[in-house]
């Protein structure tokens, strides 16, 4: 497990963050949230009813299943002078697996403790116990998985492994040759390598990848925030393996990013099941070696599965993130271009939770827009819940800066654009300010004079270039909420920018694939 964690860490470029102290919630409107399976459709029937709980962070504890006991037994053939050992091995405990499922939209998981099935005990006549079933936890795409280290654990930066203070890694079973066909190959580095690399997906999880996603009737769902959805750890009294002193207190423990489940079907075996105990049938030809016979009782014990605390953080994945001051018309634009129906009102901060809407083109091409609540001065240092909102722009391929060109309520579009660009630049979410962008001037219907309109667009373009916004120099003048002017040309630009982003992504992935080696 240690080496697995290390290798996962090596290939993930996500920065380590420790800003997960509060649980925030958000709402999403996402027409992708449908599935054809019977199981899902009943869930979605309920969702059509309206408001749904949506959570973008969760804490959980995962526990791999324990290995079954190996059996110590001897043949009882009548007349046999020397009884041969025939105890079967215990089955391996199931693993806990996190899978990104595009039909899932929220992190309000059903539980906060997940345990895989234990392996069955071995029995006489060389009957090996059955392996425990894996526990599969389905999460939305875009979930970052962080492991919260226990007090006695540390992150070994050099070797990229999680170590335990005062504990040497002992080579279990190394002095114990297991005969027969039994092996522990289901647990270990081999399988996890393929998981980390996302190059091969076991059959069990294929259904997630192949799930067909169709647009729902009205093209959207709406969840409501739910602060109750997060519970503390260790509420389950049966969990004896974690003592109360192990209760997680935010900010006190180190967290390491172990996976970024950003694509449908990507998964990680987060907690391995314990190895099954060794039955004494493995001594069949070696029962004359007293040390091995003496050890067989000890070896027959199944090993406990991995236990760990995790924090999951969902970051929206959209093609284009809308960046604008409150009241600029972001939600009006989303409503005009997609089937989403966000709230629109003439007061600031109408939108308090990020929303996602899909633009569908005639040939089936789709682009996903994320309407993030209004950004204000100081958002990049957390003002006005700035971190919460900006975080959802991190995963977008491109940004769309949108300003109120008419300056309703005394706003100045040039000042607004400058501030927005500065906030995006100052935010520590990677290369956001270098991302391809579109610049949009809304509410042109309030500027009847065409010359004044042109002049304003020119000014905005100059300011945008001065601010280092990565766009082609063209400012899209639109009227999202009234006449719909300019939306046709804007949708074409959205498509080209998304397509260009996809090409870039493909070439990056290929590069990563070829460079990747363990």
Return the range that interacts with ligand GTP (CB under 6 A); candidates 210-218, 420-428, 480-488, 503-511.
480-488
Q: Give one DSSP letter per residue of 406-442, joined into a string.
A: T-GGG--HHHHHHHHHHHHHHS-SSSGGGSBEEEEEE
Comparing CB distances to ligand GTP, the nearer of 331 and 419 is 331
Q: Does 329 bind ligand GTP (CB under 6 A)?
A: yes
Out of ligand GTP, Mg ion, none, what residue 446 binds, judged by CB under 5 to 8 A for its kind, is ligand GTP
Left (φ > 0), alpha (ψ -120 to 50) or beta: where does 436 sit?
A: beta
Q: How far is the CB of 352 from Mg ion (least distance, A)?
A: 9
Among 28, 257, 479, 487, binds ligand GTP (CB under 6 A): 479
Based on CB atoms, which residue is closest to Mg ion, 261 or 355? Answer: 355
Residue 28's closest CA among 108, 119, 120?
108
Q: Which member of 51, 125, 183, 349 binds ligand GTP (CB under 6 A)?
A: 349
Our finding on whether 482 is near ligand GTP (CB under 6 A) is: yes
Least Å distance, CB 349 to ligand GTP, is 5
At 427, list the tokens.
């935010």
Q: Assess 332 for contact with Mg ion (CB under 5 A).
A: no
* 91-122 burial: b if 16+ Cβ within 10 Å, else e: bbbbbbbbbbbbbbbbbbbeebbbbbbbbbbb
- Would you give the binding string for ligand GTP spanning residues 426-465, x where CB under 6 A is met? ----------------xx-xx-------------------
Least gap, CB of 351 to Mg ion (angstroms): 3
| The pair of three-digit structure tokens given for residue 506, joined into one six-digit string | 């493909």
Distances (CA, A) of 35 to 29, 107, 207: 15, 17, 11
480 is a site residue for ligand GTP (CB under 6 A): yes
3-state secondary structure of 269: strand
Q: Does residue 350 bind Mg ion (CB under 5 A)? A: yes
Q: Using CA atoms, how far apart are residues 170 and 168, in angstroms rounded to an integer?
A: 6
Least distance (Å) from ligand GTP to the CB of residue 468? 23
Our CB check for Mg ion shows the closer of 131 and 332 to be: 332
Of 72, 145, 71, 63, the residue nearest 112 (C-alpha): 63
Q: Considering the rule CB under 5 A, would residue 47 count as an interface residue with Mg ion?
A: no
374 is an interface residue for ligand GTP by CB under 6 A: yes
Does 338 engage in binding with Mg ion (CB under 5 A)? Answer: no
Comparing every residue's Cβ against ligand GTP, the nearest one is: 481
Stretch that binds Mg ion, among 192-200, 203-211, 212-220, 328-336 (CB under 5 A): 328-336
Name residues contacting ligand GTP, limited to 305-324 (CB under 6 A): 324
Distance between first and last Cα of the chain? 15
Please choose, from the candidates 424, 420, 384, the residue with its C-alpha nearest in 3D space to the C-alpha of residue 404: 420
- State which H helix or E strand residue 514 sits in: helix 487-515
Identify which of residues 27 and 162 has a Cβ nearer to Mg ion in the complex. 27
Residue 292 touching ligand GTP (CB under 6 A): no
Among Mg ion, ligand GTP, none, what does residue 332 contact (CB within 5–8 Å per kind)? ligand GTP
Structure tokens at 309: 């605390």
Q: Which does 198 bind (CB under 5 to 8 A by kind): Mg ion, ligand GTP, none?
A: none
Please say which residue, 262 or 445, places its beta carbon nearer to ligand GTP.
445
Number of DSSP helices (H) and strands (E) in the chain, helices first: 10, 18
127 vs 328, beta carbon nearer ligand GTP:
328
DSSP states of 359-416 as a string? EE-TTS-EEEEEEPPPP-TTGGGTGGGHHHHHHTTTT-SEEEEEEETT-GGG--HHHH
Dihedral, CA of residue 315, residue 320, residue 321 and residue 323, to nearest 10: 170
Residue 209 or 482: the one with the smaller Cβ distance to ligand GTP is 482
Residue 156 and residue 506: Cα distance in Å, rounded? 33
Q: Determine, following the binding rule CB under 5 A, whether residue 479 of this chain makes contact with Mg ion.
A: no
Which of 148, 494 has the CB closer to ligand GTP? 494
Tell me the number of residues near Mg ion by CB under 5 A: 3
d(CA 19, CA 386): 13
Pick one of 35, 332, 338, 380: the residue that binds ligand GTP (CB under 6 A): 332
Whose structure tokens read 């009294």? 237
Is beta strand 161-164 parallel, antiparallel or unpaired with respect to 153-156?
antiparallel
Answer for which of 131, 266, 282, 351 binds ligand GTP (CB under 6 A) is 351
Whether 477 and 444 have beta carbons less than 8 Å apart is answered as: yes
Residues forming contacts to ligand GTP in the complex (CB under 6 A) are: 324, 326-332, 344-346, 348-351, 373-374, 442-443, 445-446, 479-482
Residues forming contacts to Mg ion in the complex (CB under 5 A) are: 331, 350-351
């Amino acid at each position: 497990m240690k080496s697995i964690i290390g290798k996962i860490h090596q290939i993930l470029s996500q920065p380590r963050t420790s800003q997960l102290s509060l649980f925030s919630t958000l709402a999403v409107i996402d027409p992708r949230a449908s599935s054809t399976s019977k199981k899902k459709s009943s869930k979605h029937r309920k969702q059509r009813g309206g408001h749904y709980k949506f959570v973008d962070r969760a804490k959980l504890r995962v526990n791999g299943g324990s290995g079954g006991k190996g059996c110590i037994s001897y043949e009882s053939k009548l007349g046999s002078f020397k009884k041969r050992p025939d105890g079967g091995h215990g089955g391996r405990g199931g693993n806990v697996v996190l899978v990104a499922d595009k039909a899932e939209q929220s992190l309000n998981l059903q539980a906060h403790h997940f345990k895989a099935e234990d392996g069955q005990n071995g029995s006489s006549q060389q009957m090996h116990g059955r392996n425990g079933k894996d526990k599969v936890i389905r999460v939305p795409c875009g979930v970052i998985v962080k492991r919260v280290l226990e007090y006695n654990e540390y992150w070994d930066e050099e070797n990229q492994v999680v170590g335990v203070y005062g504990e040497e890694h002992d080579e279990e079973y190394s002095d114990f040759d297991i005969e027969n066909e039994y092996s522990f190959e289901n647990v270990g580095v081999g399988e996890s390598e393929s998981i980390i690399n996302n190059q091969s997906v076991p059959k069990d999880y294929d259904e997630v990848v192949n799930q067909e996603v169709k647009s729902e009737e009205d093209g959207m769902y709406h969840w409501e925030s739910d602060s109750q959805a997060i519970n503390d750890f260790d509420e389950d009294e049966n969990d004896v393996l974690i003592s109360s002193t192990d209760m997680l207190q935010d900010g006190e423990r180190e967290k390491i990013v172990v996976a970024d489940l950003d694509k449908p079907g990507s998964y990680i075996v987060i907690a391995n099941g314990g190895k099954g105990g060794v039955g004494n049938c493995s001594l069949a030809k070696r029962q004359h070696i007293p040390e091995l016979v003496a050890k067989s009782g000890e070896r027959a014990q199944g090993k406990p599965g991995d236990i760990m605390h995790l924090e999951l953080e969902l970051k929206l994945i959209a093609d284009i993130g809308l960046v604008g001051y409150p009241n600029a018309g972001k939600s009006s634009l989303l409503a005009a271009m997609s089937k989403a129906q966000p709230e629109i009102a003439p007061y600031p901060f109408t939108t308090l939770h990020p929303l996602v809407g899909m633009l569908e083109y005639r040939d089936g091409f789709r682009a996903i827009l994320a309407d993030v609540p209004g950004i204000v001065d100081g958002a990049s240092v957390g003002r006005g819940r700035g971190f919460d909102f900006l975080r959802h722009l991190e995963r977008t391929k491109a940004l769309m800066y949108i300003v109120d060109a008419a300056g309703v309520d005394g706003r100045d579009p040039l000042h607004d654009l400058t501030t927005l660009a500065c906030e995006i630049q100052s935010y520590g979410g990677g290369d956001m300010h270098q991302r391809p962008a579109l610049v949009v001037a809304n509410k042109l219907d309030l500027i009847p004079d065409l010359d004044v309109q042109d002049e304003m667009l020119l000014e905005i373009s100059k300011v945008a270039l001065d601010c280092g916004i990565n766009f082609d120099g063209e400012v899209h003048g639109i009227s999202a909420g009234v006449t719909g002017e300019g939306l046709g040309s804007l949708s074409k630009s959205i498509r080209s920018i998304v397509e260009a982003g996809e090409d870039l992504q493909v070439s990056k992935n290929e590069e990563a694939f070829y460079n990747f080696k363990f």
